[in-house]
């Protein structure tokens, strides 16, 4: 026999019910998920002590953000390794200046691509922050 989860039963007006249904649908959530999000808000939002807006990130989005952050760290780590290797070869006279310049161009292209992608992410983060009037 499986144990049933606790349930909440709430009485709402027709307008409140419609508002909850509409909001949940717009956000792609069930009403239960919407209520769970509200229950996770800091207590300060309910007693008036906190006036800043809240940005809710679901578990799937949080995992995607973490994966993206790790990926950017990996990319910058690879860039640093490439630059260190070029410097080592130059110090040991294992390559000439032409070879080093060629490899530096490869690294520069990777840095430029990474910076372009980061600019897109930065613009999106700034757009989201502007929705909440958050200063840089």
Q: Report pLDDT for 120.
A: 86
All residue ranges of the chain with pLDDT < 50 are none
Taking the C-alpha atoms of residue 36 and residue 44, their distance in angstroms, rounded to an integer, is 17
Q: Report pLDDT for 133.
A: 65
Q: Which tokens go with 48?
A: 């008036």
Taking the C-alpha atoms of residue 69 and residue 115, their distance in angstroms, rounded to an integer, is 14
Q: Report pLDDT for 134.
A: 54
Q: Report pLDDT for 72.
A: 83
Q: In which residue are the tokens 């717009």 written?
A: 26
């Amino acid at each position: 026999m499986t144990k049933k989860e606790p349930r909440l039963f709430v009485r709402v007006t027709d307008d409140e019910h419609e508002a909850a249904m509409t909001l949940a649908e717009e956000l792609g959530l069930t009403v239960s998920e919407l209520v769970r999000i509200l229950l996770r808000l800091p207590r300060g939002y309910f007693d008036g002590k906190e006036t800043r807006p809240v940005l809710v990130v679901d578990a799937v989005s949080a995992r995607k953000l973490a994966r993206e952050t790790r990926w950017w760290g990996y990319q910058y780590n690879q860039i640093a390794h490439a630059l260190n290797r070029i410097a080592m070869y130059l110090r040991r006279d294992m390559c000439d200046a032409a070879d080093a310049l060629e490899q530096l161009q490869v690294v520069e292209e990777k840095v430029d691509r990474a910076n372009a992608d980061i600019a897109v992410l930065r613009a999106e983060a700034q757009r989201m922050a502007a929705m909440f009037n958050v200063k840089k």
